[in-house]
């Protein structure tokens, strides 16, 4: 089937299998490999992207369901002026180690800050509860998001 | 730069989606490999029907064990050689039985599902008790009693010492099976072009992997290139020699196209090797003050269905560390490694040492409980004192380096406000409406800086050293090649900090490369908390040599003696003559002008160092955990987690804190959430992230971290390593807190993981 999906502002029209997952569309069809796959049960959140501005797990969405919609991936976050505040927060506060959960974590945090510009620690933990990190133990991720909240927010 | 909390060099790429993990790599004509895994725990394979799978469009083939009969076995326990796929028999659910290659991953998965395997079930032994039972069916013919290894680690006989001790107690402790669960699963991409393969793989020791692949295929090592690109966490589980490391290159050779294998999470949970899984029987003798006089320990390890050459002997490390940070004069230790119909076990963060620390820290608490003493006081009575360092343990060759265990405990007790916590605990106990409060301590020591070559050889490595090449470019910038293969630890950053200090070069002018056998000189890898104590020292040593040569050249340029030239600012000057200076960049250019160099000076400005550690290092510290237990549900909440860590010299406080946090998180996870369980029929009960409870952000607390920095005299940097410290220290801090909260009920032990269900049951049974 034919889908037209706008990814990071760029429209893409492709012929896809109806069962193709959005995450594979991004990674394999468009070679946007920043979005990762960490599980097969919608548990880990490594595949989190924004679909029309809402954080979704792209392993749980068919490419067909994204037809006519806009996707933002980790590749679309940094602007001409460099890293987004969330990305910079993760760098400043060592919110990543291996970096595998990071794209999903950064996208989820971006969506969280868009909704709640000044979240408490508990609100951050709650907002990221669909995302797993095996390296950091989360505290420095929480600190990263708070840094971002204080330095520009969701942009 | 050593000691500064600089943000990492690694982050810019990883934060923008421009990291390179194995599954991100594409090659022209790429094919996808998928396993067919055993669905039986113990069975004869009576037939494999591949016809339907082969007939699917896009499938290039299906292969079974006999198709690889010509390949020499995988790295194995001698006498128990393991192939790549199960042959006539399967030994656990998840064991690969066949392999499918197709043009895309969806088709490959379809084809794997279409392969029909016929089994004739055999009796299943999913526990060590079942496997050791009289008359149990042997899982392997050469192991009639399913005992793969029985090891007497100390010749000490403590029977008389125990008999003479004023007090004695026995305990059985269980260190449950855990799954490493890096968020990136295992992956391999092999592209066999010309005379040999290039293999991208999620591994921790690329040179070792290269050697093993070369040996299997009868190739000279230069023809095999192994690359560990960005690796998404490993925690030891990516150090095992999984069959895909060899099958992907072999199939690439046969098919003449690149072949990629990336396991699914479901596969990871049953296929990639697990860790821990020890039952520990301990008897300890002590006096009225709680001074431990002798200890007798028997460890039984469940090593799973196909013995792993590392997994089979890990309890040796457990045995070595049984004394913890205490002065225990006599320890008798032995272990048995038992095969069962479960996924094999091998390294997981700490690999053998957390199990020891858990044992001794639980034992100290039991001793305190028995005597009605405070666990902090019993620790103080037994702690090795700083003036006794280096301390020879009862185990030959196990000598602890400098540390101040009592100071770490004191700092911890102060930070916890221990007396106030005890008062609050008593207050809550008296108030039936208040949740119970428990405080747990863990004064731990572990083994890091792996390791002197003779020790590391036992695990099949060429050596225990690490290598570094430090090379100055003609513009004064520096490239470092190091033999480690980090996967989140931040070596690009920390090693650059070490070089910056030695060479007086800006941090931003240094790049660190690793993980590619075609680029990096012979190396060892990343495991065993060896990054800073071993690789850090190799890098330092290479940089020292480069600095010395730069100084010689600078002296020549300044027409002075080398001894009269000192580093200043961005170069050198003649001591006391501020106008007589040269910059490092000028020296760097000069190093490439043979006609302008001092007599006998070799061209270029670089040095390769191999650093062999004289000894292991012994990171230590004191952790404290405060938990609250809901009286009605048994739910445990960690209220505070406080760490005092002594990893020796801290290179980068930011990344050091990250390592501690991550380790503690995994330790708390083991204590409260995680367990790989099997039903009596050997069916895995934790086959996905829905069933295996990797904690999320709401399940873990904030951590309070403090440092004591006692430099190790065993290496020039004074670093001890810290990748495994948190995971080693934390489980027993949490369990001690849980048991402490329930002590008034007469509870002595709660088995991990301390789930609400289990805690509730313990509380209920105790009433
Ligand atoms: S890959 Fe989508 S939730 Fe894990
Ligand atoms: S940084 Fe490794 S999983 Fe989060």
Predicted confidence (pLDDT) per residue in B699-750, tens digit: 999 999 999 999 999 999 999 999 999 999 999 999 999 999 999 999 999 9
pLDDT bracket for residue B154 (50, 70, 90): confident
Q: Name the residue of chain A whose CA is nearest to B664's CA.
A: A137
Percent of chain B at pLDDT > 90 equals 97
Same domain for B471 and B560, yes or no, is yes
**B21–A133: do the CB atoms touch at under 8 Å?**
no
Which of B63-67, B295-299, B567-571 is the least confident region?
A: B567-571
Q: Give the model's pLDDT for residue A155.
A: 76
Residue B152 belongs to some domain of the structure: no
Instruction: Give pLDDT, residue B309.
Output: 95
A33 with B182: Cβ contact below 8 A: no
Span of B3-12, B270-279, B561-570 with lowest mean pLDDT: B561-570
From B611, B631, B659, the end of a domain falls on B611
Kindly tell me if the per-residue pLDDT of A141 is higher than 90.
yes
- Which of B262, B290, B317 finishes a domain? B262
Q: A126 to chain B: nearest residue by CA?
A: B698
On whether any CB of chain B is under 8 Å from the CB of A46, the answer is yes
> How far is B301 from B313, CA to CA, in rounded Å?
9
Q: Is residue B496 part of a domain?
A: yes
The answer as to whether B620 is a domain residue is yes
What's the average model confidence in pLDDT over A106-124? Answer: 98
pLDDT classification of B459: cutoffs 50, 70, 90: confident
Measure CA A135 to chain center: 18
Q: Are residues B98 and B43 in the same domain?
A: yes
Residues 6+ apart with CB under 8 A from B505: B472, B476, B477, B478, B499, B584
- Predicted local confidence at residue B239, as pLDDT: 95
Q: Hey, what CATH class is A85-150 in?
A: mainly alpha
Residue in A60, A82, A86, A97 to test binding to B, most B beta-carbons within 10 Å: A97
For ligand 1, the distance from its centroid to the CA atom of residue B54, given in whole angstroms, is: 30
> What average pLDDT score do residues B430-447 get?
97
- Give the tens place of pLDDT for each residue, B577-591: 999 999 999 999 999
Percent of chain B with pLDDT over 70: 100
**A131/B696 CB distance under 8 A:** yes
Q: Give the pLDDT confidence of B493-523 residue by residue, as tens digits.
A: 999 999 999 999 999 999 999 999 999 999 9
In a domain? residue B311: no
Q: Whose CA is nearest to atom 1 of ligand 1?
A: A37
Domain boundaries, chain A: 2-76, 85-150
pTM, whole model, 2 decimals?
Answer: 0.97
Average pLDDT, integer, range A55-62: 98
Q: Which of B228, B262, B296 is the last residue of a domain?
A: B262
Question: Quick one: which ligand is closest to A98's CA?
Answer: 2
Q: What is the pLDDT of residue B766?
A: 85
Per-residue pLDDT tens for B369-413?
999 999 999 999 999 999 999 999 999 999 999 999 999 999 999
| pLDDT of the residue at A56 | 98
The ligand minimizing its distance to the Cα of A40 is 1
Per-residue model confidence (pLDDT) at position A67: 98
Residue A101 Cβ contacting ligand 2 at under 6 Å: yes
CB contact under 8 A, B697 and A131: yes
d(Cα B340, Cα B147) in Å, to the nearest integer?
9
Query: Could you tell which of A108, A134, A139, A140 is best to mutate to test the pocket of ligand 2, judged by most ligand atoms within 8 Å of the CB?
Result: A134
Q: Of the candidates B333, B318, B351, which has an alpha carbon nearest to the alpha carbon of residue B284?
A: B333
Residue B276 has pLDDT above 80, yes or no: yes
Whether B698 and B749 share a structural domain: yes
Closest-approach residue (CA) in chain B for A19: B106
Q: Do B358 and B501 belong together in one domain?
A: no
pLDDT of B156:
80
Chain B CB contacts of A71 below 8 Å = none
* pLDDT digit string, tens, across residues B629-681: 999 999 999 999 999 999 999 999 999 999 999 999 999 999 999 999 999 99
Please name the helix (run of DSSP H) or strand (run of DSSP E) that holds residue B399, with its range, or none. Answer: strand B399-400
CA distance A155 to A148: 10
Smallest CA-to-CA distance from B293 within B164, B107, B119, B188 is with: B164
Q: Based on the domain organization, do B404 and B552 belong to the same domain?
A: no
**Predicted pLDDT at A153:** 86
Structure token pair of residue B476: 């004064």
Residues of A in contact with B655 (CB under 8 A): 94
pLDDT at B451: 84
Domain containing B220: what range?
Answer: 11-122+186-262
**DSSP annotation string for A42-108:** S-S-TTEEEETTEEEETTSSBGGGGTT-EEE-GGGT-BTTBS-HHHHHHHHTT--SS-SSHHHHHHH
A-B Cβ pairs (cutoff 8 Å, strict): 177
The two three-digit tokens of residue A48, written as one number: 């989190």
What pLDDT is recorded for position B12? Answer: 96
Chain B touched by A65 (CB under 8 Å): no
Ligand 2 atom index nearest CA of A134 = 3
- List strands edge to edge, sheet with A48-51: A10-15, A2-7, A70-72, A48-51, A54-57
Question: Given a cut of 90, is residue B266 above it in pLDDT?
Answer: yes
- Regarding whether B439 and B495 lie in a shared domain, the answer is no
- Range A2-76 classified under CATH 3.40.50.170: no
What residues does B330 pair with on adjacent strands?
Answer: B294
Q: Is A105 in the pocket of ligand 1 (CB under 6 A)?
A: no
Q: Residue B210: which region, alpha, beta or left (left: phi > 0; alpha: psi -120 to 50)? A: alpha
pLDDT of B186 over the 90 cut: yes
Q: Is the per-residue pLDDT at B767 higher than 90?
A: no
Q: Does residue B131 belong to any structural domain of this protein?
A: no
SS3 track for B244-257: HHHHHHHHHHHHCC
* Angle, alpha carbons B715-B445-B530 (nearest 5°): 40
- Judging contacts by C-beta atoms under 8 Å, the chain A residues touching residue B8 are 91, 94
Instruction: Assess whether B758 and B676 both reside in one domain.
Output: yes
Closest CA to A32 of B391, B628, B19: B19
Segment B324-331 shows an average pLDDT of 97
Return the residue matching tokens 């095999």.
B224
- The answer to whether the CB atoms of A34 and B182 lie below 8 A apart is no
CB contact under 8 A, B265 and A39: yes
Residues B666 and B762 in one domain: yes
Give the pLDDT score at A145: 98
* CATH number of the domain where residue B631 is located: 3.30.365.10
Question: What is the mean predicted confidence (pLDDT) over A19-38?
Answer: 98
Cβ distance A94 to B265 less than 8 Å, yes or no, reads: no
- Same domain? B587 vs B736: no
Question: Both B580 and B705 in a single domain?
Answer: no
Tokens of A99: 């970096």
Does the CB atom of residue B183 touch ligand 2 within 6 A? yes
* Cβ distance of B15 and A83 shorter than 8 Å: yes
The verdict on the CB of residue A39 being under 6 Å from ligand 1 is: yes
Per-residue pLDDT at B573 exceeds 90: yes
Q: What is the pLDDT of residue A79?
A: 87
- Region B169-177: mean pLDDT is 98
Nearest C-alpha in B relative to A32:
B17
- Are B605 and B496 members of one domain? yes
Distance between A137 CA and the closest CA of chain B, angstroms: 5
Please say if the pLDDT value at position B155 is more than 80.
no
Write out chain B residues lying below 8 Å of A81, CB-based: none
User: Is B492 within 8 Å of B511 (Cβ atoms)?
Assistant: yes
Is the alpha carbon torsion for B390, B284, B755, B184 positive or negative?
Answer: positive
Q: Comparing B155-164, B268-277, B374-383, B745-754, which segment has the lowest mean pLDDT?
A: B155-164
> Are B440 and B473 found together in one domain?
no
Res. B66 pLDDT band, cuts 50 70 90: very high
Distance B149 CA to ligand 2 centre (A): 36
Nearest residue of A to residue B723, measured between CA atoms: A135
- Total of domains in chain B: 3
């Amino acid at each position: 089937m034919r889908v037209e999906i706008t990814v990071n502002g760029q429209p893409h029209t492709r012929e896809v299998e109806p069962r193709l997952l959005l995450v594979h569309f991004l990674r394999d069809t468009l070679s946007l490999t920043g979005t990762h796959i960490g599980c097969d049960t919608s548990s880990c959140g490594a595949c989190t992207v924004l679909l029309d501005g809402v954080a979704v797990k792209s392993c749980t969405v068919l490419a067909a369901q994204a037809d006519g919609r806009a996707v933002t991936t980790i590749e679309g976050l940094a602007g001409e002026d460099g890293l987004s505040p969330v990305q910079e927060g993760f760098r400043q506060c060592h919110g990543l180690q291996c970096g595998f959960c990071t794209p999903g974590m950064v996208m989820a945090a971006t969506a969280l800050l868009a909704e709640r510009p000044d979240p408490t620690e508990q609100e951050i933990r709650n907002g990221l509860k669909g995302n797993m990190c095996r390296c950091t133990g989360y505290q420095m991720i929480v600190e990263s998001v708070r840094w971002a909240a204080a330095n520009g927010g969701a942009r | 730069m050593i000691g500064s909390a600089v943000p990492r060099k690694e982050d810019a790429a990883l934060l923008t989606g421009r990291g390179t993990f194995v599954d991100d790599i594409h090659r022209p004509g790429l094919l996808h490999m998928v396993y067919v895994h055993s669905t039986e725990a113990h069975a004869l394979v009576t037939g494999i029907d591949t016809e339907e799978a082969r007939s699917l469009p896009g499938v290039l083939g299906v292969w079974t064990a006999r198709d690889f009969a010509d390949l020499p076995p995988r790295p194995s326990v001698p006498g128990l050689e393991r192939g790549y796929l199960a042959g006539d028999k399967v030994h656990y659910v998840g064991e690969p039985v066949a392999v499918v290659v197709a043009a895309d991953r969806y088709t490959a998965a379809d084809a794997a599902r279409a392969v029909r395997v016929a089994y004739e079930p055999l009796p299943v032994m999913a526990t060590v008790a079942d496997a050791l039972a009289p008359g149990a069916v042997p899982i392997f013919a050469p192991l009639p009693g399913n005992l793969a290894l029985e090891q007497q680690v100390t010749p000490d006989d403590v029977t008389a010492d125990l008999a003479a001790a004023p007090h004695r107690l026995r305990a059985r402790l269980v260190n449950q099976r855990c799954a490493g669960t890096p968020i990136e699963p295992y992956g391999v991409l092999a592209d066999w072009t010309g005379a040999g393969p290039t293999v991208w793989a999620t591994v921790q020791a690329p040179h070792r992997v290269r050697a093993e692949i070369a040996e299997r295929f009868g190739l000279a090592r230069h023809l095999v290139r192994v690359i560990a690109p960005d690796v998404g966490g490993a925690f030891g589980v990516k150090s095992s020699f999984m069959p895909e490391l060899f099958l992907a290159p072999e199939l690439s050779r046969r098919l003449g196209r690149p072949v990629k294998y990336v396991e699914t999470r479901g596969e990871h949970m049953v296929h990639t090797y697990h860790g821990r899984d020890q039952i520990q029987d301990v008897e300890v003798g002590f006096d009225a003050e709680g001074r431990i006089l002798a200890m007798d320990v028997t460890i039984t390890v469940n090593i799973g269905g196909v013995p792993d050459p590392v997994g089979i002997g890990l309890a040796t490390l457990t045995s070595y560390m049984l004394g913890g940070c205490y002065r225990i004069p006599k320890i008798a230790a032995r272990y048995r490694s038992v095969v069962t119909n479960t996924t094999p076990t091998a390294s997981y963060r700490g690999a053998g040492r957390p199990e020891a620390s858990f044992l001794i820290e639980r034992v100290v608490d039991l001793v305190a409980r028995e005597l009605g003493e405070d666990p902090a006081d019993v620790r103080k009575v037994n702690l090795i004192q700083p003036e006794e360092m280096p301390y020879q343990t009862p185990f030959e060759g196990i000598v602890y380096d400098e540390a101040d265990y009592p100071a770490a405990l004191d700092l911890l007790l102060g930070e916890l406000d221990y007396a106030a916590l005890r008062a609050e605990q008593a207050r809550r106990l008296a108030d039936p409406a208040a949740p119970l409060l428990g405080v747990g301590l863990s004064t731990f020591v572990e083994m890091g800086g792996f390791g002197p070559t003779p020790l590391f050889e036992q695990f099949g490595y060429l050596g225990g050293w690490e290598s570094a090449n430090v090379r100055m470019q003609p513009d004064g910038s520096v490239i470092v090649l190091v033999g480690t293969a980090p996967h989140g630890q931040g070596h690009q950053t920390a090693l650059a900090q070490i070089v910056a200090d030695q060479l007086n070069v800006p941090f931003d002018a240094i790049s660190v490369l690793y993980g590619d056998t075609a680029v990096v000189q012979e190396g060892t890898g990343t495991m065993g908390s060896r990054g800073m104590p071993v690789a850090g020292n190799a890098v330092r040593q290479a940089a020292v040599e480069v600095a010395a040569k730069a100084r010689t050249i600078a002296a020549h340029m300044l027409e002075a003696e080398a001894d009269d030239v000192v580093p200043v600012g961005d170069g050198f000057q003649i001591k006391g003559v501020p106008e007589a200076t040269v910059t490092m960049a000028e020296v760097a250019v000069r190093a490439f002008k043979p006609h302008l160099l001092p007599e006998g000076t070799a061209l270029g400005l670089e040095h390769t160092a191999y650093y062999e550690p004289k000894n292991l290092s012994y990171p230590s510290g004191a952790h404290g955990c405060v938990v609250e237990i809901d009286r009605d549900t048994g739910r445990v909440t960690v209220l505070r987690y406080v760490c005092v860590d002594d990893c020796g010299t801290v290179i980068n406080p930011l990344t050091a804190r990250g390592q501690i946090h991550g380790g503690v998180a995994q330790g708390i996870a083991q204590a409260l959430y995680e367990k790989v369980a099997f039903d009596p029929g050997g069916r895995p009960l934790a086959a996905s992230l829905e069933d295996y409870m990797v904690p999320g952000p709401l399940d873990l607390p904030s951590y309070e971290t403090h440092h004591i920095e006692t430099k190790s005299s065993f290496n020039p940097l004074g670093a001890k390593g810290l990748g495994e410290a948190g995971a080693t220290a934390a489980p027993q801090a949490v369990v001690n807190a849980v048991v402490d909260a329930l002590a008034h009920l007469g509870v002595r032990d709660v088995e991990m993981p301390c789930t609400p269900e289990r805690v509730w049951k313990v509380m209920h049974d105790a009433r």
